[in-house]
Structure 1
């Protein structure tokens, strides 16, 4: 990620099909005081005295945050996930939620995490920071195969290690763009029960399908408390607030028979990382949630339309530029939503080629090998989220010229 930022900084005029962030055109600094005001009015209307409103916004706060009630309503409205607010911990971005979940679940050196591969670098990087091994489970054309997950868990256990969790992005995965069919989601939960795994479900892109067909979350299907849901407001609201959350409603019983929820126990980890998530950041997101009636599906209609148009434009540009190259080492994925398309190419798509691409062809992309333990050397991740639609065709055309000159 640092390498990509460094290359983008050196070539600011290059067309970027690398950045997976939201489009800047949706964000206006004038929204910040408006959301803050809406949230303060919400607190006042709920009966909170002015001195308590001041303390909530300006002081250290509750470790697991103050948005539990609003997020619980959001999850019920948009995802059909029904959990108590005490099962929710508000985090400093979804990245912190990953670190907290990994640290809370993996307590022994033999504990490992399984992860769909290719895998988001934030998860593998967090695990590396914590000294936790990540065991890749290769994705197929239809996403993660539950039988492969089971076989991998058993193989890891036979080696004397303990598979504790499975990380998966079920909707329009980063980087592959793959989505899990509903039947596979149900089967994956059965495997989690049989193999005693906790599923870490990360769903930052679920709002942005190419159609309005509902895509049921693993957590909504979870009847045996096998799923920890990792949520983010970065794509659906804006990244600068740095607010994410986790849902951990698993019951925990201590040595004295005291019953709590896992989210409460994980607060001990969070308290040592960031003490509490910024109350100001939470208030801004809280105002947005109040304004939207706790439905990000409703609040994101304009964004969803924009990202749909961009993804269709990207797929059409690939078809125009590379139709003749099919069968000659060039092919690409066709996701049903999200931000990302994988382009397989007949050359090494490494850092050296990316620098050449930026300097001589004026276009950026992401080497897929960043998302593999060992592999992805002949593929590029193309992102269509942070770019105006009119520049996508030109960006793909530049990649086509790069490949024509260096294949």
Structure 2
């Protein structure tokens, strides 16, 4: 049998981000009884198998009510379809209702999860080895992984303890250009980011838009957690504040609906001017990338998500009230458990400290010991609790911090998991 050298395979095969996620999955499989404060997936108690058929019927009835014949409905459901998807009109309406984002439906591309949207955006924007993408660090591993597959360099823009400073973006852009490279876009999660949990204040959002305008930079705004704040304070998306067309908006139905559908989207309403003067939307140009990647997003998955949108009147913020309340309660439970089991927090060198996010699924805890794969193995085997090393989200850093997720568990499991973490810390300092 043929044997291949691993050294001859693409660097993405051995990418630290990908292997780290595989490591987490492998540890979870080996220790199935451990409480996982690592998994950032939604709580599946909100779903039932009967929902799929109901949503599907709702969407098909919507198509029939729009005057489509049974032949046309059957074609939309079972055939290859429009490369950029068939939910663009419904998604555009949802964005206007929930986020105040007003864009033409033609600027919306439906993707196979938000991960595909990242790949498409990076591929379309970065055309040469000198093109780089900036990313707020700590950064979601999926962005780094997508860039590695494409051979696109990611330059970190570090967060301060108070979050992202727009002036830091300008400093990094100038340094990148001085090195002979071309910064194309900045990736960030402005609402309750994964992993840090930070949310940009409105004034910072406006200043960031000014900075990227001055620096001739695009923004890749990823917003999977925007619905799930601890309060109802308005947090306008960068896209809704954008008056210059700087923001490409990346969205997902994994948290607001369910991840098994694997439906995401991007909004690229920027104008592209060809050599002949022809003007098109960036979303239309990006369709060429998608057509060679997945052809189109599953029509059946789109139909199910379409049914969710139809049933909710395209208002997912209102339709997610129960989920919002659940995730709020879980985050408060996590923060209360940290207060209870680490009462020395913030006092003295070596104390355990954590941030207090305004929403989302995650909190970051700084520990007085090295939080690496070895410690995670020990934590799983002897203490029965899993967490995510923050080092997975940095190019270089995060060695003494962990990300705790509270989305998938019941409150009593969260409290027990934090207690077990406290035992790990106390006995291994």
With the shorter chain as reference, the TM-score category is: over 0.9
Deviations 1:380-406 (Å, cap 9, x if unpaired)?
000000101111111000000000010
Distance 2:201 2:346 in 1: 26
The equivalent position to 1:333 in structure 2, one of 341, 355, 374, is 355
Offset, 1:259: 1.0
Shift of 1:43: 0.3
Residue 145 of structure 1 corresponds to: 165
TM-score (norm 1): 0.99
Match of 1:406 in 2: 428
Q: Distance in 1 between matches of 2:212 and 2:289?
A: 24
Displacement over 4 Å in runs of 4+: none
- Tell me if structure 1 keeps the 8 A contact 2:344–2:352: no
Deviations 1:251-308 (A, max 9, x none): 0111111111000000000001000000000000000000000011011000000000
In 2, Cα distance between equivalents of 1:281 and 1:196:
37
1:58-117: CA deviation from partner (whole Å, max 9, x where unpaired): 011110000000000000000000000000000000000000000000001100011000
Partners in 1 of 2:167 and 2:124 — Cα distance? 26
Partner of 2:402: 380
Give the 5 Å matches for 1:355-374. Answer: 355-374=377-396
Residue of structure 2 aligned with 1:95, choices 111, 115, 123 = 115
Q: 1:318 aligns with which of 338, 349, 358?
A: 338
Secondary structure (helix, strand or coil) at the match of 2:343 reads helix
Taking the aligned partners of 1:27 and 1:359, their CA distance within structure 2 comes to 31
Tell me if 1:240 matches 2:240: no
Which residue of structure 2 aligns with residue 347 of structure 1?
369
Deviates more, 1:12-21 or 1:139-148: 139-148
Question: Cα deviations across residues 153-173 of structure 1 (Å, max 9, x unaligned)?
Answer: 000000000000000100000
- Aligned-partner Cα distance in 1 for 2:161–2:245: 28
Counterpart-to-counterpart distance in 1, 2:276 and 2:251? 32
The 5-angstrom pairing of residues 125-144 of structure 1 reads 125-144=145-164
- Structure 1 unmatched runs, 5+: none
C-alpha contact 1:142 1:179 (8 A) present in aligned 2: no
Q: Does 1:56 align with 2:80?
A: no
Secondary structure in 1 matching 2:183: strand
Query: Which among 258, 282, 289 is matched to residue 269 of structure 1?
Result: 289
The reply on whether 1:19 has 2:39 as its aligned counterpart is yes
State the partner residue of 1:10.
30
1:392 maps to what in 2?
414
Question: Residue 286 of structure 1 aligns with which residue?
Answer: 306
Among 81, 86, 89, which residue is 1:66 paired with?
Answer: 86
Root mean square deviation, CA, Å: 0.6
The answer to whether the Cα contact below 8 Å between 2:97 and 2:315 also exists between their aligned partners in 1 is yes
Are the counterparts in 2 of residues 142 and 180 from structure 1 also a CA contact under 8 Å? no
Counterpart Cα distance in 2 of 1:24 and 1:217? 27
Q: CA deviation at 1:142?
A: 2.9
Preserved contact between residue 78 and residue 296 of structure 1 (Cα < 8 Å): yes
- Tell me if structure 2 keeps the 8 A contact 1:142–1:181: no
Quote the offset at 1:325 in angstroms.
Answer: 4.2
* Residue 111 in structure 1 maps to residue 131 in structure 2: yes
Which one of the candidate residues 28, 38, 43 is aligned to 2:58? Answer: 38
How far does the alpha carbon of each residue in 1:220-251 deviate from its partner, in whole angstroms, 9 at most, with x for none? 00100000000000000000000000000000
The Cα offsets for residues 316-352 of structure 1, whole Å up to 9 and x where unpaired, read as: 0000111124333310010000000000001000001
Partner of residue 173, structure 1: 193
> Could you list the runs of 5+ residues in structure 2 that have no partner in the other structure?
1-20
TM-score normalised by L of structure 2: 0.94
Contact 2:339-2:345 within 8 A present in 1 as well? no
SS of the aligned residue for 1:324 comes to coil
| 1:204 and 2:200 aligned | no
Total equivalences in the alignment: 407
Q: CA separation in 2, counterparts of 1:120 and 1:329?
A: 26
